[in-house]
Amino acid sequence: QVQLVESGGGVVQPGRSLRLSCAASGFSFSNHALHWVRQAPGKGLEWVAVISYDGTNKNYRDSLKDRFTISRDNSRNTLYLQMDSLRAEDTALYYCVTVPGGSSESYYPFDHWGQGTLVTVSS
Amino acid sequence: DIVMTQSPDSLAVSLGERATINCNSRQSVLYSVNNKNYLAWYQQKPGQSPKLLIYWASRRESGVPDRFSGSGTGTDFTLTISSLQAEDVAVYYCQQYYSTPPTFGGGTKVEIK
């Protein structure tokens, strides 16, 4: 079955960087686009970024595109999110999510979610 | 961005009764070429990650009980739980995947009365 295991979260000071990872198994990783979605404590869901199946196309939430970078390593079945210049408002649980297709455009529902990794930005 | 608005914010329903959640998109998510509504519903139980319930506005994901149903087209959609069970206590989100960025409604919390 599909497994998505996020890691890399923790407590970080404002202005610092963090890299999240998502180790995937149970499906053909290199055929699927992947997303990051975040959820601030007690709040709703907010889409962060997407990467196409081969890593050539990426899209970001407008407010994050200058600070966050999504990438993937299909040889390691791993998705990444590099987060720079972190702010208090980036505090959230970050989910790795799969979709049934390979494009970085919307067009697919989010069919599998990891358990998330918590990022806390605080001094 | 397509704004998604859910109502109500919360509702309390007796066990075995019907629960109805509404979702409105500020612009249509119906793609005329294939006549599909790019609208999904997710369930998030306390302490868990979201789970896909419904996609294409009305198609149940594999393994989802048939008491869950989705309806609507264009800009107005509904998730119905026909007979609420204790395990259905959760927050429910609608989402459009018609255009990038994909956007979610604010969520509806369903509780037992």
Q: What would the pLDDT profile of A10-32 be if each residue is shown by its tens digit?
A: 999 999 999 999 999 999 999 99
- Say which DSSP state B102 is in: P
Percent helix, percent strand, percent coil in chain A, to nearest 5: 5, 45, 45
* Long-range interactions of B27-31: CB distance < 8 A, separation 24+: B27/B2, B27/B75, B28/B74, B28/B75, B28/B98, B29/B2, B29/B74, B29/B75, B29/B96, B29/B98, B30/B73, B30/B74, B31/B98
Q: Does B107 touch chain A (CB under 8 A)?
A: yes
Q: Does B50 touch chain A (CB under 8 A)?
A: yes
- Residue B69 is predicted with a pLDDT of 98
Dihedral of alpha carbons B89, B90, B94, B97, sign: negative
Chain A residues touching B98 at Cβ < 8 A:
106
User: For testing the chain A interface, which of B41, B93, B96, B97 should be mutated: the one with the most A CBs within 10 Å?
Assistant: B97
Contact B61 A61 (CB under 8 A): no
Structure tokens at B47: 């302490």
Chain B residues touching A59 at Cβ < 8 A:
100-101
Chain A residues touching B106 at Cβ < 8 A:
44
Contact A106 B38 (CB under 8 A): yes
Contact A109 B101 (CB under 8 A): no
B48-75: pLDDT as tens digits: 999 999 999 999 999 999 999 999 999 9
Where chain B has pLDDT below 50, the residues are none
Confidence band, pLDDT 50/70/90 cuts, at residue A102? confident
Residue in this structure with the two tokens 């939430």, named with its chain if needed: A61
